[in-house]
A and B are shown apart, each in its own frame.
Chain A
């Protein structure tokens, strides 16, 4: 397989603005080209769109709006991990030799139809994600004797880190008490335990080894990819306090990159809800089962931004189709030592974890300098 690098990134602020999906796509792509003048638009072989929006033919539309005629142009949708799935598709085009340079743009509106999986009738009338998140939270607390206050620390930490991210939806910090006193959505979930749907876009360009080396002095390579889908319905999750798809995807990504989890210096973790962060940390083997919260406490008290430096989904907001790409941009910037006040020290290898629908599907990427 050909080696694949990341050569350019562009992102919009995450907001609650009412914008057309085409406008979000264009803004994000425009930012990428303006920030990276070495990228020749006409060299783009493929344009992949990541979104859950119901508008059609978005890739040809974006291509026309940015004035290019790519060989390959289509949309990829997989709920919340559409972004990294698009990156994997782009990687495959380049690794196979079908394309040398691919633009991936993710975009979503605050009212995305991807927030609820209508097909999953096994959830009965409880289809909104807050219900599976409540069941996960209750099960995790019960299994590992973790308190609500301890889980609230995830939100405290990630809002604090998002404050250093100019594109994040939130620029406020919160105490554990404030998280605990935020609106109670269920007995096991507060409003500040949740990532919020928002409007935003993120773009990235992947390229072959030859083009990557020619285009950038700070290449970042995708060296590991792992994906696993265990089901579509939430109720097929046999464990309610661990993530099987994440465990498998993580192992495969690390194996492909020939790395161990101890080699990972910085990671973006899919904290759709507070409980997801410790569950994912444990499933990826960053910590032992039930000890994810201890790791989070340690990171918070030492002001260590290793996990979710951009503020996670909870701090940044969650424009579904853009999230996985925004996570990958953050790790790229970290590896390029270009993350400003969020920069983690001595970063050589990073990881992206992006998942869908109560962890029924996960994608894990390993990125290296």
Chain B
């Protein structure tokens, strides 16, 4: 099962190397440390807001999950630095990923 296949179903997972356990981010087929194959770690991952800004009436933020995995995500409530959030919505639209946290 690939990261993108899971993401298409609205499931956010963390790709990590089966051999060295390093997170593989952005997702790829092989580990960029040891070229080991990649396993998808599933769960309700908690991240924290590193930085944010706002376009029109929508906030976007940089969120860091475990092992330095960072994504730019939409957030509906006013963000706060270091606030803990979880992925509430994700998927692939027009070929690109999207993430929303709350």
Contact = CB atoms under 8 A, between A and B. Distances in A.
Contact of A185 (B26, B55, B60, B96): B55
A285 interface: no
Give the interface centre of A125, A135, A188, A240 by most chain B CB atoms within 10 Å: A125
B67 interface: no
A306 B27 CA distance: 43
A121 interface: yes
B51 A135 contact: yes
Interface in A220-261: 233-236, 238, 240
A235 B53 contact: no
A216 interface: no
Contacts of B55: 131, 134, 185-187
B26 A121 contact: yes
Interface in B4-57: 25-27, 50-55
A119 to B, nearest CB: 8
Interface residues of B, number: 24
Contacts of B95: 118
Interface in A120-146: 120-127, 131, 134-135, 137-139, 142
A233 B26 contact: yes
B51 A138 contact: yes
Contacts of A137: 53
Contacts of B60: 126, 131
A126 B54 CA distance: 11
A126 B25 CA distance: 17
A181 B51 CA distance: 24
B53 A124 contact: no
A281 B18 CA distance: 42
Contacts of A119: 26
Interface residues of A, number: 28
B11 to A, nearest CB: 15
Contacts of B52: 135, 138
A220 B53 CA distance: 44
B25 A122 contact: yes
Contact of B62 (A127, A188, A240): A240
Contact of A125 (B25, B50, B74): B74
A122 B53 contact: no
Nearest to A235: B70
A221 B53 CA distance: 43
Interface in A2-28: none
A127 to B, nearest CB: 7
A78 to B, nearest CB: 19
A236 B24 CA distance: 12
A311 to B, nearest CB: 27
Contacts of A235: 26, 62, 70-72
B51 A126 contact: no
B53 A188 contact: yes
B97 A186 contact: no
Contacts of B68: 238
A188 B95 CA distance: 28
Given A135-B51, A186-B54, A187-B54, A122 B70 contact: yes
17 contacts: A120-B26, A121-B97, A122-B25, A122-B26, A122-B71, A124-B71, A124-B97, A125-B74, A125-B93, A126-B60, A131-B60, A134-B53, A135-B51, A135-B52, A186-B54, A188-B53, A233-B26
Given A126-B60, A131-B55, A236-B70, 19 more contacts: A118-B96, A119-B26, A121-B96, A122-B70, A122-B72, A122-B97, A123-B71, A125-B98, A131-B72, A135-B51, A135-B52, A135-B62, A137-B53, A138-B51, A138-B52, A139-B51, A234-B72, A235-B70, A235-B72
